[in-house]
Homo-oligomer: A and B are copies of this chain.
Amino acid sequence: VAAEVDDRAWLRAMLDFEAALAAAGVDAGVVPAAAAREIAVVCEAEAPDIAALSRGTARDGTPVPSLLAALRERLSPEAAAHLHRGATSQDALDTAAMLVSRRALVPLLKDLEAAADACAVLAERHRDTLQAGRTLLQHALPVTFGLRAAGWLDGLEDSAVRLQEVRAGTLAVQLGGAVGTLASLGEHGIEVRAGVARRLELVEPVLPWQSNRMRPALLAGALGAACGVAGKIATDVALLAQTEVAEVAEGGEGGGSSTLPHKRNPVRAVAARACAARAPGLVATMLATMGGEYERAAGAWQAEPETLSELLCITGSAVAAVRCLLEDLRVDEAQMRGNLQLTGGLWMGEALVTVLTDSVGRARAHELVESASRLALKSNRSLEEVVAEVPEIAHVLSDAQITAALDPTDYLGSASQLIESALAAHRARRDGP
């Protein structure tokens, strides 16, 4: 995504805006066709000097005046007089922000799709791969790795849905002129705006949004949430890849260490987490700049473009890292099974209670299992061993029944159905309506 949000990309977007504005002016009868053709050629051509634009930005606060001056030098006086007709600097920059965002969302959503596809493969393949479910970083009850992957998929789906909504409904052209009245376009303002929107494939807004910053704010929120989802997956992978857990490892070339050959650093997970750590502060900035003054803010609006660029960039990086990580993930099923034994089956007590309830009532079942669990914990034996020695239990359950009750494979509740639901939702969205 980085290449879609750099200075060159912003410049391209501003040039596209100016060309579209002139072309739309022709349709509305306010710009001569020849002038618009000339403007289109100049805007299409090789980009002006970015360093010079930076100096202009330092002087004027925005790159637009320098850009216009550079373009006018290459235009006939007649065409120059029609360049930027009806627009103000903020129109060019805000529309460019939307174009840059739409273009950056292309690789971002592609990576998001690929990450979701990779999760779907993992969810399907590991539908029955038992793994410890962990709460507060402690083993709690068994899950399957497929369910975990389905959970990641669910987050990626939510992100994709939201970003698609934002792309379709939030990215709008901005054209208002100096104060949002489109005054210098006379009675043709709305018509010109419609033409620009159509040409740039952006939404046509109800009002110019120069001082209603909902669009950048909603875009930022969706990006921040996508970063959060990427960070969540990366966190789980980094934890599962711990030396002591070792249930997954990142594939690929990176992450080795020549001095510490046993290390396999989860470099993509780390990269995604680093991006995710930066997103909340940037989203906060995009929200804090909503309250700008009057028709154009004196500072708030000017803080947006760089913040938005960074947010697009780190979200893109986070999602790309997670995609790589998921596509190459090495899963150690044996280690998953092995770790399940760490707590001696104590977590299956809940399941045993359910089985015993029929014979001895719920309350007594609870008491029996709790006391057996305490004994197992104290004596460092497995729950199964201890339970078999409790007369009141042995009386109502055979050894085989006890073993069955304590088998984690049979205590997965709706895991399989839930995986199926997540896969179905993924397929439905991907294949579209």
Which residues in A have some Cβ–Cβ distance to B below 8 Å? 59-61, 77-78, 81-82, 88, 132-143, 147, 150-151, 154-155, 157-159, 162, 177-187, 189-190, 206-209, 211-214, 217-218, 221-222, 224-225, 227-229, 231-232, 234-236, 238-239, 241-245, 253-254, 258-267, 269-285, 287-300, 302-303, 306-307, 339, 342-344, 346-347, 349-351, 354, 362-363, 366, 370, 373-374, 377, 411-415, 417-418, 421-422, 425
CA distance A131 to B354 in the complex (A): 41
Main secondary structure of the interface of A (DSSP, over half): helix
Q: How many copies does the complex hold?
A: 4
CA distance A418 to B190 in the complex (A): 8
CA distance A158 to B207 in the complex (A): 11
**Beta-carbon contact of A374 and B261 below 8 Å:** yes
A-B contact pairs, 21 of them (CB 8 A): A135-B265, A138-B243, A142-B179, A143-B181, A162-B214, A181-B411, A207-B422, A221-B225, A235-B292, A235-B293, A259-B349, A260-B349, A261-B346, A262-B346, A262-B373, A270-B299, A273-B300, A276-B299, A277-B285, A280-B287, A283-B284
CA distance A184 to B264 in the complex (A): 21
CA distance A154 to B214 in the complex (A): 10
**Beta-carbon contact of B263 and A139 below 8 Å:** yes
**Beta-carbon contact of B183 and A294 below 8 Å:** no
CB within 8 A of A298: which of B150, B232, B238?
A: B238
**Beta-carbon contact of A181 and B414 below 8 Å:** yes
**Beta-carbon contact of B231 and A265 below 8 Å:** no
CA distance A183 to B142 in the complex (A): 9
Closest residue of B by beta carbon distance from A424: B206
**Given the interface contacts A242-B137, A261-B374, A422-B206, does A290 sit within 8 Å of B229 by beta carbon?**
yes
Q: Most chain-B Cβ atoms within 10 A of its Cβ — which of A78, A135, A155, A302?
A: A135
**Beta-carbon contact of B137 and A239 below 8 Å:** yes
Q: Most chain-B Cβ atoms within 10 A of its Cβ — which of A151, A190, A253, A277?
A: A277
